[in-house]
Structure 1
Amino acid sequence: MNIVDAPTGLVQRFEAQRSAFTVEPYPDWPTRAQRLRKLQRMVARHEAEFAKAIDADFAGRPRFETDLAELWPSLEEVKVALREGRGWMKPQRAPVAKWFLPAGAQVLPQPLGVVGIIVPWNYPLFLAVAPMVAAIAAGNRVMVKMSEYTPRFSELFAALCAQAYAPDEVDVVTGAADVAAQFAALPFDHLLFTGSTAVGRKVMAAAAQNLTPVTLELGGKSPTVVAPGYPLAKAAERILVGKLLNAGQTCIAPDYVLLPREAVEPFVAAARETAQRLYPQGLADAHYCSVVDMRQYRRLTQGLDDALARGARADVLFAGAARDDAGHRLAPVLLHGAPADNALMTDEIFGPVLPVLAYDEVDEAIAHVNAGPRPLALYWFDDDRARTRRALERTHAGGVTVNDTLLHVAQYELPFGGVGHSGMGHYHGRWGFETFSKLKPVVWQAKLNAMSLFLPPYRPLAHKMLRLMKRV
């Protein structure tokens, strides 16, 4: 297994990939497909091992959630790339400005070189595999830095990749924050980072030293707005399903909910009924995920305790215990009236706490969304299509699902990515292929053309032609 021992070792591994790319700068489709199938076989053959390692890292994550949110979408990414990738590679014809006819033009997708991928802890398999698929389909060599917060999975993934690939094809790196910093400072041809906005700033600063282009998949406080008249039982179920998957440790999880003032208490009742129906055993329910570690658990509980000490109200949605300190398990909580400077109100929550905010007019809800940094996701619940359209036009977000949560991330024909503080760039499907390609414009000059008219010394006919071109 390849483990980083020193910065020089990391540089050497990067240089090995760079050298290999120089020898093979434009892999044909059979070569790319072979590399994709290696990844497909690795994921498919080791599903149980991956799920077991992730469960151990989280000290309790339901196998079904790992299958649904990691294994299945990882395999889907590969399937889509294998089915469509040959077509993505083809040069695309482009029109030529009329004054340059009969020349021809095309856009040639060209591999960038060596792509770096920094993987977070919350979905360590899918958020490694999905960008790997895009980078490999685009013809690149790939280096991947795994998260130190999921050590069992990271070690397993690195070992299996080392078995499947030559290190100059795909090289998986493990290590702590110092290794991640060294990794981000390598002169990649493109670097994709998934994680927090604070760390994203550091990654972007490191990449800037090499003018490395970056795709930042961050997060932020993704709002949910329930419009007047929308059925609250339906909204509560769909919001909680999105919020409580992976115990809220999802970059596009609903972060807070805006409700008509008169709907707040009915929503609380509907949410409590929903949570206890979905997880009837409460904190002991095998289908409910743990918070990943004590570091994250303490961050959440300290935020809750601070809010409660300062007058907030918390509605715990499970019957029975609200916390299990030893197992770092936290029951879902609706939080009302938390101070504006409380950490749960200023930072991405990334856990099963859902602040509830009341509004009197829909315009107030839209203004609240627009007052904060632009989020990775927006969820709008409304049966009024005209009002929904106005809301979509007046707000910014990386992606939107209307009348449900999370669904836009699974649509491979849609770009996935943030905007502003929630990130930059996008991937999934063809969008990922293009992110990791240089879409190179090419002009093919015709044998017979008029360019000789514009060579110096500039004759009267050249001046006449230029006047005509400016008028037409």
Structure 2
Amino acid sequence: MNPVSPLQQAFDLQYLASRQHLEVPAMLRKERLLRVQRMLDEHGPVLTAAVQADFGIRSPQLTEFADLLVLRSQLKQALRRLERWMRPRHVWTPLHLLPARARIERQPLGVVGIISPWNYPLQLSLGPAITALAAGNRVMLKPSELAPHTAAQLAAAVEQYFAPDEFCVVQGDSYLSSQFAGLHFDHLMFTGSTAVGRRVAQAAAVHLTPTTLELGGKSPCILASDCDMAQAALRVAHGKLLNAGQTCIAPDYVLLPRGQEAAFEQAYRQAVAQLFPRIVGNPDYASIIHQRHLVRLRNLLQQAQSLGAQVQVIDPALGQQAAAPSWGDAAQRQMLPTLVWNVQPTMTLMQEEIFGPILPVVPYDRLDDAIAAINAGPRPLALYWFGKDEKARDTVLRRTVSGGVTVNDTLLHVAHDNLPFGGVGDSGWGAYHGEQGFLRFSHQKAVCLQGRWSAVQWLYPPYGARFDKIMALLRRWV
């Protein structure tokens, strides 16, 4: 007889608790959210230091802004609106079912599993957990093995504030992740690459476990001919170079009106220099998470060059006296921002999500050509539009499908608590954040309450003339 693994034991503990305590009142849910809040307040500096240790170079200010601020905003919204989200929704009853009444009750699913990535290891671990806890669920979290310091600190902090049958963190390699995905969760959420997302979906399908997949993709950025080039370049550079491009909704490539290549290159170079006066040794510019990922990015550039692409590396400190880096190998993983011109669809650079500070630029002649280029590939997680013409903007919004859109900036839609965040097609399925996330992690139970007298009984058999007359009336009214 095979012994039960610690992973299975942890799941069984939560599963049993979720079945024994089906009702999770608002007071208990709020108390759990407040524990998360205290955990962030008291362990925030330690968690931030762990993230920095995993990257080698990543500014604590970046983690405070991109991870902790987002989490605090989500907590504030959930605590303020939880009771309204939990309230049953009364719905209109059709004529032929009167005098019945109906409502939709929102119940916890049970146990929610979360497999989180390494790029924003706090936000993308605790953000889904906050939403799942607000919905009354138990939570098991599997952080990325590429961020082991963060995973260890998360596990210790969660253990301090939560019982194992409420919220727990399991640590391990990719093999453990595959075992984790195969547990009989009531819902499983995965954030990561499309390729791994497919394997997670297959593992979850064994138990018919519903999933939310937040994947990546080729998120395009369209610059219109009437855009403010300097402003657009600065905002594109910020969205692209935040976390050194290791962001799932970073602009993956730019669609630029033909003839404006030189103007964009100059504006982008100036924007990079404004944001990061130097790259290597700059504590504000994150390093690539792992040498393997750096090699992958360099291979993308080499393959593109071999097929005729022009690669332009941007080094703002060129010709200046830069301070010697003090982070060893991590400084060597601070990859310089790079523009790539004359790209072709067959290049790997244009087929796979880049996830680094490389920005291909694709000229277009007409807006229709830009739209066609986007629609020729898988549907992206994000789309960005820069321009002043509202009609052109609305044409792009109407004729493209993407997980989300930010107009005249980048990344902002993911930080908006009242907007659902999620992908479509190859960029994922299911959305969370705010009430949409609450619903994603809840069961909406249909309840129909019949009265002592029911009009439906007039439609019981045996069928005859009375039935035909009633049906004739209903056909006129329904």
Q: Given the two structures, how large is their TM-score scaled by the length of structure 1?
A: 0.96
1:457 pairs, out of 459, 462, 465, with 462
Q: How far off is 1:344 after superposition?
A: 1.7
**What's the offset of the Cα at 1:166?**
0.6
The aligned residue for residue 424 of structure 1 is: 429
2 CA distance for matches of 1:282 and 1:203? 36
Instruction: Specify the alignment match of 2:137 in structure 1.
Output: 140
Tell me the alpha carbon deviations over residues 300-339 of structure 1, each in whole angstroms, 9 at most, x when there is no partner: 1121122223332122222347999763110110111234
- C-alpha distance in structure 2 between counterparts of 1:239 and 1:339, whole Å: 21
Q: Where do 1:227-306 residues align within 5 Å?
A: 227-306=224-303
Matched, 1:95 2:85: no
1:86 is the counterpart of 2:86: no
2:187 to 190, 202, 220: 190
> Is residue 446 of structure 2 the alignment partner of residue 441 of structure 1?
yes
Match of 1:404 among 387, 406, 409: 409
Match of 1:175 among 163, 172, 191: 172
2:365 to 352, 360, 377: 360
**Secondary structure at 2:230's aligned position in 1?**
helix
**Alignment CA distance shift 1:226-1:219 (3 Å):** same
Contact 1:268 1:315 in 2 (8 A): no
Contact 1:276 1:282 in 2 (8 A): no
Pair 1:351-2:356 in alignment: yes
From 53, 66, 71, the counterpart of 1:69: 66
Residue pair 1:146, 1:154 contacting (<8 A) in 2 also: yes
Aligned residues with identical type, % of pairs: 47
Matches within 5 A, 1:37-48: 37-48=34-45
Q: Is the 8 A contact 1:44 1:75 kept in 2?
A: no
Equivalent positions of 1:124-139 (< 5 A) are 124-139=121-136
Deviations 1:9-61 (CA, angstroms, capped at 9, x unpaired): 21121111111011111210011111111111101211111111101100000
Shift of 1:471: 3.2
Distance of 2:4 and 2:316 partners within structure 1: 51
State how far apart, in whole Å, the 2-side matches of 1:26 and 1:88 are.
15
Amino acid at match of 1:253: A
Give the conservation status (yes or no) of the 8 Å contact 2:384–2:410. yes
Instruction: Please tell me whether the aligned partners of residues 454 and 462 of structure 1 are also in contact (alpha carbons under 8 angstroms).
Output: yes
Gaps in structure 1 of 5+ consecutive residues:
1-5
**Aligned mate of 1:371, from 357, 373, 376:** 376
Work out the CA distance in 2 between the residues paired with 1:351 and 1:20. Answer: 42
SS at structure 2 position matched to 1:329: coil
Provide, for residues 363-412 of structure 1, a one-character-per-residue CA deviation record: whole Å limited to 9, x for no partner.
11111011010000000111000110111000010000010000000111
Match for 2:210: what amino acid? Answer: P
Task: Identify the residue that residue 322 of structure 2 maps to in structure 1.
Answer: none
Distance, in Å, in 1 between the alignment partners of 2:116 and 2:434 is 18
User: Residue in 1 aligned with 2:207?
Assistant: 210
Who is 2:400 aligned against?
Answer: 395
1:328-339 map, 5 Å = 328-339=333-344
| 1:117-173 CA-partner distances (Å, limit 9, x unpaired) | 110010110001111111111111111111000000001101111111111000111
Task: Tell me if 1:413 matches 2:421.
Answer: no
**SS of match in other structure, 2:418:** coil
Distance 1:448 1:384 in 2: 60
| 1:3 alignment counterpart | none
Shift of 1:460: 2.8
Q: Give the superposition deviation at 1:283.
A: 2.0
The count of corresponding residues between Structure 1 and Structure 2 is 467
Contact 1:197 1:218 in 2 (8 A): yes
- Greater CA drift, 75-84 or 313-322: 313-322
Q: How far 1:463 sits from its partner (Å)?
A: 2.6
Q: Structure 2 CA distance, aligned partners of 1:278 and 1:193?
A: 32
Spell out, residue by residue over 1:448-471, the C-alpha distance to the aligned partner (whole angstroms, 9 max, x if none). 222222223234322321222123
* 1:108 equivalent in alignment to 2:105: yes
1:470 alignment counterpart = 475
Confirm whether residue 157 of structure 1 aligns to residue 154 of structure 2: yes
Letter in 1 for 2:33: L
> Could you say which residue in structure 2 is the equivalent of 1:385?
390
For 1:451 and 1:253, locate their aligned partners in 2 and report how far apart those are by CA, in whole Å: 56
Residue among 113, 119, 131 paired with 1:122:
119
Q: Secondary structure at the match of 2:280?
A: helix
Give the conservation status (yes or no) of the 8 Å contact 1:297–1:329. Answer: no
Q: Distance in 2 between matches of 1:321 and 1:155?
A: 39
- What do you get for the CA RMSD once the two structures are aligned? 1.6
Distance 1:290 1:398 in 2: 27
Structure 2 runs not aligned, ≥5 long = 320-324
The letter for the 1-side match of 2:166 is E
